[in-house]
């Protein structure tokens, strides 16, 4: 509840004692730690790495630089620090820069307190209003950050340009007694970075001809991308020296953490979830695609692969299944592996390619990442097909019988399977049951799977066998996949007999 004190005299009588921003944060953080509370709501995967580093920096009352690739929650971490501020603080009524009545720094607040004393009006500022943020771009000026002389104010008030009252404060002085964030600091021109030196260390600012003593009370947080840090710009050394703690962020280290972040951040409607069932397998496959991208030779690893890729991909995946269900008039459907065709635009727009990747093309790289994700995930659901190959040593010279042989032989007999993306659930299921041995393998390893789950596992099994080159898989232009014999497919390619309406992904 907002305090009811209205004047400076009442404030002093209440026994209120002001604290600096960093003291506020430190005090409230200590309370949160003692009460086993996490002040960084919604930040997953940093519990044992980044968050302890941030807490130590805040206990030390440090300004902070978050250094990490895009999509690593750097700005979100900074925004969550607002929760560590006191809920309400008193400021001089009418002050542009949140002057404390106990220690005013602007000429307006100083004059008002001198004139009115204990009758000086006080208003209460909520912590949500004590956060400032600026994206560093090459066109940012000193006037934007620090301030400038306002000729219109000088004319209206009939003041000389030498009068302090003609100054217009920039965003940093207006963040006095709060938290101020500069995102992508290396993109800020060096001469603009220099203007921050005195604010961080000495507490004074210079605007045009004015040299003002403004001991600003601000917790500064900066963010930087290592790629920008080294290529597009740099943090000037004296400024870097004044930022006490540099904290390195990272991507989720496990698929489970990445999946939890995606589900938390994805903007999916309840009506979509009522129509579309999303099994854990496809959720894991979405995350595995990002994991594959973060180690792919075709993707620029210095640029990074944002967590936004999986969030966007998850949303698109559900919408792809929903789109099919709407067209078919189905009230309920389950996501299929073939629905990942709708994820491709989410991948191509979120990755930076190296030269080899540009040669392949973003779409082909996206399909390759999807294939690698299927291959990696396959061995978590079914036995590794490579474990059934003949070994080179005498004791392993004889290969173990593979559970997939009946399926491979069915395709080897000249049979083909066409799975079209827009098929209704019944037709989709019936096509899969045509493959001899496919249902048997799934029921052997998943005897409790219901009909819908078994159907998804059957399709996943086919895609996995194709990724291990045991059967062939081709994309169909009209939307879908064609599965066949791997040897026959190779012969068709060699002799130029491939159908014109098929494209080999």
pLDDT (tens digit per residue) in 101-155: 999 988 889 999 999 999 999 999 999 999 999 998 888 888 888 877 676 666 6
Q: How far apart are CA 183 and CA 132, in angstroms?
A: 11
Provide the edge-to-edge strand list for the sheet that holds 480-484: 417-420, 480-484, 472-476, 502-503
Residue 163 has a CB neighbour count (10 Å cut-off) of 15
Q: Is 105 exposed, middle or buried (0-12, 13-18, 19+ CB in 10 A)?
A: buried
Name which of 45-49, 90-94, 286-290, 396-400 the model is least confident about.
Answer: 396-400
3-state secondary structure of 417: strand
Extract the runs of DSSP E, i.e. beta strands, from 276-330: 276-277
pLDDT tens, position by position, 346-404 = 999 899 999 999 999 999 999 999 999 999 999 999 999 988 876 544 555 565 788 99
Name which of 190-194, 289-293, 386-390 the model is least confident about.
Answer: 386-390
The residue among 248, 249, 245, 247 whose CA lies nearest residue 62 is 245
Mean pLDDT, the chain, whole residue set: 88
Q: How far apart are CA 259 and CA 257, in angstroms?
A: 5
pLDDT tens, position by position, 308-354 = 999 999 999 999 999 999 999 999 999 999 999 999 999 998 999 99
Question: What pLDDT score does 496 carry?
Answer: 45
Ramachandran sector of residue 73 (left: φ over 0; alpha: ψ -120 to 50; beta: rest):
left
Beta bridge partners of 473: 483
Q: Residue 199's pLDDT band (boundaries 50, 70, 90)? A: confident
Name which of 103-112, 227-236, 475-484 the model is least confident about.
Answer: 227-236
The residue among 442, 466, 468, 436 whose CA lies nearest residue 456 is 442
Beta bridge partners of 417: 483
Joined tokens for residue 187: 């993109």
The residue among 254, 345, 347, 308 whose CA lies nearest residue 49 is 254
| Mean pLDDT across 194-205 | 75
Q: Residue 191's pLDDT band (boundaries 50, 70, 90)? A: confident
Q: How far apart are CA 182 and CA 222, in angstroms?
A: 5
- Model confidence, pTM: 0.83
Q: How far apart are CA 72 and CA 83, in angstroms?
A: 20
Q: How far apart are CA 224 and CA 142, in angstroms?
A: 20
Q: How far apart are CA 504 and CA 499, in angstroms?
A: 10
Positive or negative, the CA dihedral 74, 267, 426, 444 is positive
3-state secondary structure of 147: strand
Residue 209 has a CB neighbour count (10 Å cut-off) of 8
Which pairs from 448-453 meet CB under 8 Å and 24+ separation? 452/277, 452/334, 452/425, 453/279
Which pairs from 145-154 meet CB under 8 Å and 24+ separation? 145/170, 145/171, 145/172, 145/192, 145/195, 145/196, 146/170, 146/172, 146/173, 146/195, 146/199, 146/205, 146/206, 146/207, 147/173, 147/205, 147/207, 148/207, 148/208, 149/207, 149/208, 149/210
Q: How far apart are CA 103 and CA 27, in angstroms?
A: 20
218-224 and 178-183: which strand pairing? parallel
481 backbone dihedrals φ, ψ, rounded to 5°: -135, 150
Q: How far apart are CA 443 and CA 454, in angstroms?
A: 7
Which residues are CB-contacts of 7 (< 8 A; sequence separation ≥ 6)? Answer: 118, 119, 120, 121, 122
Higher pLDDT, 161 or 101: 101
Q: Residue 61's pLDDT band (boundaries 50, 70, 90)? A: very high
The residue among 46, 48, 19, 51 whose CA lies nearest residue 32 is 51
| Mean pLDDT across 398-416 | 88
């Amino acid at each position: 509840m907002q305090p009811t004190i209205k004047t400076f005299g009442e404030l002093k009588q209440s026994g209120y004692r002001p604290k600096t921003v960093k003291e506020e944060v430190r005090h409230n953080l200590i309370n949160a730690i003692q009460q086993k509370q996490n002040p960084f709501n919604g930040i997953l995967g940093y519990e044992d790495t980044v968050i302890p580093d941030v807490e130590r920096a805040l206990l030390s009352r440090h300004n902070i630089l978050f250094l990490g690739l895009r999509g690593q929650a750097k700005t979100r971490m900074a925004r969550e620090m607002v929760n560590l501020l006191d809920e309400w603080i008193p400021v001089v009524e009418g002050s542009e820069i949140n002057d404390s009545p106990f220690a005013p720094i602007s000429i307006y607040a100083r004059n008002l307190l001198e004139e009115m004393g204990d009758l000086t009006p006080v208003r209460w500022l909520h912590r949500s209003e004590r956060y400032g943020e600026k994206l560093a771009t090459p066109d940012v000026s000193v006037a934007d950050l620090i301030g400038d002389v306002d000729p219109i104010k000088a004319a209206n008030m009939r003041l000389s340009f030498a009068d302090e009252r003609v100054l217009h404060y920039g965003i940093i002085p207006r963040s006095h007694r709060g938290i101020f964030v500069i995102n992508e600091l290396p993109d800020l021109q060096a001469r603009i970075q220099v203007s921050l030196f005195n604010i961080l260390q000495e507490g004074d600012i210079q605007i045009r001809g004015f040299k003002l003593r403004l001991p600003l009370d601000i917790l500064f947080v900066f963010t930087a991308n290592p790629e920008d840090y080294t290529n597009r710009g740099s943090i000037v050394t004296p400024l870097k020296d004044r930022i006490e703690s540099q904290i390195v962020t990272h991507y989720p280290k496990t698929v489970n953490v990445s999946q939890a972040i995606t589900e938390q951040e994805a903007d999916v409607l309840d009506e979509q979830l009522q129509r579309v069932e999303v099994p854990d397998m496809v959720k894991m496959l979405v995350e595995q695609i990002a994991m594959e991208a973060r180690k792919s030779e075709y993707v620029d690893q210095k640029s990074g692969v944002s967590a936004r890729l999986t969030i966007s991909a998850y949303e698109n995946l559900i919408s792809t299944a929903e789109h099919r269900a709407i067209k078919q008039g189905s009230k309920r459907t389950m996501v299929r592996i073939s629905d990942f065709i709708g994820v491709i635009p989410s991948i191509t727009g979120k990755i930076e390619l190296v030269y080899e990747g540009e040669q392949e093309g973003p779409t082909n790289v996206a399909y390759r990442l999807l294939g690698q994700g299927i291959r990696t995930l396959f061995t978590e659901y079914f036995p590794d097909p490579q474990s059934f190959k003949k070994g080179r040593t005498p004791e392993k010279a004889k290969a173990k019988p593979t559970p997939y042989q009946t399926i491979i032989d069915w395709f080897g007999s000249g049979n083909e399977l066409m799975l079209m993306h827009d098929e209704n659930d019944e037709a989709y299921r019936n096509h899969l049951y045509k493959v001899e041995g496919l249902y048997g393998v799934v029921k052997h390893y998943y005897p409790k799977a219901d009909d819908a789950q078994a159907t998804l596992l059957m399709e996943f099994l086919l895609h996995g066998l194709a990724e291990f080159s045991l059967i062939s898989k081709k994309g169909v232009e009209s939307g879908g996949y064609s599965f066949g014999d791997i040897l026959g497919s190779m012969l068709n390619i060699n002799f130029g007999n491939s159908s014109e309406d098929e494209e080999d992904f």
